[in-house]
Amino acid sequence: MRLLDTTLQLVVGAKNGSLAAATPVALAEGELRTMLVKKVALLAVGILSATALVLGLAPAVPPSVPNARAAPPLPAPREAPVAKEERQSEWLLFRGNSLQTGVAQTTLPDKLEALWTFKAKDSIENAPAVARGVVYVGAMDEHLYALDLATGAEKWKYRAGKDSGFKASPAVKGDTVYVGDTDGFFHAVDVEKGKKRWSFETGAEITSGANFTGNRVLFGSGDETLYCLTTEGKKAWTFKVPGGPVMATPAVVDGRTFVAGCDSALHVIDLDNGKELASVELAGQVGATAAVIKDRVYVGTMVHHVQAVDWKDAKVDWTFEPQKGGQPFAASIAATDKLVIAASRDKRVYALDRATGEKKWDFVTRGRVESSPVVVGQRVYIGSGDRKFYVLDLATGKEIQQLTLDDEVTGSPAVAGDRILIGTRAGTLYCLGAKK
């Protein structure tokens, strides 16, 4: 009986909110036993329910408790908006991605206008890179520049060397910008301070941009070689292309990269060791960058062809030839889910069916086109030797807008958020968007 009295004091005290204030209750032993069992059972249910809630193992309301209200569910986790904005606002390497497709996953204003310009002392013949609100662009005046994307203000400049210049497009990975110069040196530069981390000497000028695989960086050189270096500047492997310079930026997909040069062949290379896995004969020499979608490589030749190559089966799927005796396709390809956009020195921009190579439309400019096209949404953006920068409808090729720049468009576009950047032979970098 004493044990029951003591236990009941604890239970009643717990119910009243204070164990210390519990008062003995004189009840018959049977009644005490019944009350004790009920109280202990309720207390145990409460303790178990609270424990389950903390561990995330049970709903907020035990089904045995009447007239209780469920706690509101926790909101589903959402992706941080900063990460999404960073992805949309960066153009880290030539053609915008490792597949070299020239397609930007963002939107641009319906009508473009100049937001700011930056003037270098010689021509701009590459595409800028954009990372974390900073534009990196090389010029033929010996310098690589870092500019504020919002204003165009210069943050720093890095000198390649006397009488050298930058034809290659810069590429950014982590805290380093990588770019080759016309003297054959490949530079790794700190993105914040513009100081050299290291440089690597090749045997001829570098016009190829860089691409990346893990902690390695890939680029081509005029010494007929595709280089693979570690991000510390040490040689991992090289692949020799006989007969001429490697001018194109290498695309990367599924542990493979691709290189073509003056030997009129597309080489499929294992990224791990630099060994050739396959070679496909092309219709001519290649000077521009190929685009890759799934198991197809799309490339223009310096004769007058655009070709689709099945890199897994090592065969040409289709060949497009606009006319006999045509001009080279010196610009890099842009490739979407349905179309291949190719520009030629014959002053035209072509849209081809990606599956068959059939021409869907062409657009005639008034100058040679060596600037590579980019696609944003349902529009194509491209510059020409006629000093114009064109905006075309992707489906029809009809002109939507043209802007007159200060000289021939020798650079290729880069897209950053709601802005697009393009350089000219006069050394002017234009940032185009919509004024607010």
Tens digits of per-residue pLDDT, 355-411? 999 999 999 999 999 999 999 999 999 999 999 999 999 999 999 999 999 999 999
* Confidence label for 261 from pLDDT (cuts 50, 70 and 90): confident
- pLDDT tens, 62-87? 333 333 333 334 333 332 333 344 44
In a domain, 64, yes or no: no
Domain match, 395 and 337 both: yes
- pLDDT tens, 316-360? 999 999 977 689 999 999 999 999 999 999 999 999 999 999 999
In a domain, 100, yes or no: yes
In a domain, 67, yes or no: no
- Look at residue 246 in the predicted model and tell me its pLDDT: 95
The CATH code of the domain that includes 220 is 2.130.10.10
Domain match, 321 and 214 both: yes
For the chain, the three-class secondary structure string (H helix, E strand, C coil) is CHHHHHHHHHHHHHHHCCCCCCCCCCCCHHHHHHHHHHHHHHHHHHHHHHHHHHHCCCCCCCCCCCCCCCCCCCCCCCCCHHHHHHHHCCECCCCCCCCCCCEECCCCCCCCEEEEEEECCCCCCCCCEEECCEEEEECCCCEEEEEECCCCCEEEEEECCCCCCCCCCCEEECCEEEEECCCCEEEEEECCCCCEEEEEECCCCCCCCCEEECCEEEEEECCCEEEEEECCCCEEEEEECCCCCCCCCCCEECCEEEEECCCCEEEEEECCCCCEEEEEECCCCCCCCCEEECCEEEEECCCCCEEEEECCCCEEEEEECCCCCCCCCCCCCEECCCEEEEECCCCEEEEEECCCCCEEEEEECCCCCCCCCEEECCEEEEECCCCEEEEEECCCCCEEEEEECCCCCCCCCEEECCEEEEECCCCEEEEEECCC
Is pLDDT larger for residue 304 or for residue 67? Answer: 304
In a domain, 8, yes or no: yes
- Look at residue 244 in the predicted model and tell me its pLDDT: 81
Integer Cα distance of 175 and 359 in angstroms: 43
Domain match, 212 and 348 both: yes
- Does residue 36 have a pLDDT over 90? no
Domain match, 231 and 365 both: yes
Tokens 């006069």 correspond to 426
Integer Cα distance of 126 and 139 in angstroms: 8
For the segment 27-53, the average pLDDT, to the nearest whole number, is 39
Domain match, 36 and 147 both: no
In a domain, 86, yes or no: no
* Confidence label for 436 from pLDDT (cuts 50, 70 and 90): confident
CA dihedral of 245, 124, 109, 400, whole degrees rounded to 10: -70
Query: Lowest-pLDDT range, 29-43, 117-131, 212-226?
Result: 29-43
Domain match, 122 and 36 both: no
Query: Lowest-pLDDT range, 22-36, 103-117, 277-291?
Result: 22-36
CA dihedral of 270, 271, 273, 276, whole degrees rounded to 10: 30
* Confidence label for 55 from pLDDT (cuts 50, 70 and 90): very low
- Does residue 59 have a pLDDT over 90? no
Beta bridge partners of 188: 178, 198
Domain of residue 138, residue span: 92-433
Burial 292-315, CB ≥16 within 10 A → b, else e: bbeebbbbbbbbbbbbbbebeeee
- Look at residue 242 in the predicted model and tell me its pLDDT: 85
Domain match, 51 and 96 both: no
Give this prediction's pTM.
Answer: 0.80
- Does residue 2 have a pLDDT over 60? no
- Does residue 28 have a pLDDT over 60? no
In a domain, 80, yes or no: no
- Look at residue 361 in the predicted model and tell me its pLDDT: 98
The residues, ordered by sequence, that sit 6+ positions from 263 with a Cβ below 8 Å of its Cβ are 241, 242, 243, 244, 285
Is pLDDT larger for residue 17 or for residue 116? Answer: 116
Is pLDDT larger for residue 14 or for residue 241? Answer: 241
- pLDDT tens, 269-300? 999 999 999 999 999 999 999 999 999 999 99
Domain match, 34 and 183 both: no
Domain match, 207 and 134 both: yes
- Look at residue 18 in the predicted model and tell me its pLDDT: 37
Q: How many structural domains is the chain composed of?
A: 2
- Look at residue 88 in the predicted model and tell me its pLDDT: 63
In a domain, 378, yes or no: yes
- Look at residue 80 in the predicted model and tell me its pLDDT: 33
- Look at residue 170 in the predicted model and tell me its pLDDT: 98
Domain match, 146 and 42 both: no
In a domain, 63, yes or no: no
Domain match, 168 and 231 both: yes
Domain match, 222 and 345 both: yes
Give the mean pLDDT of the chain. Answer: 85
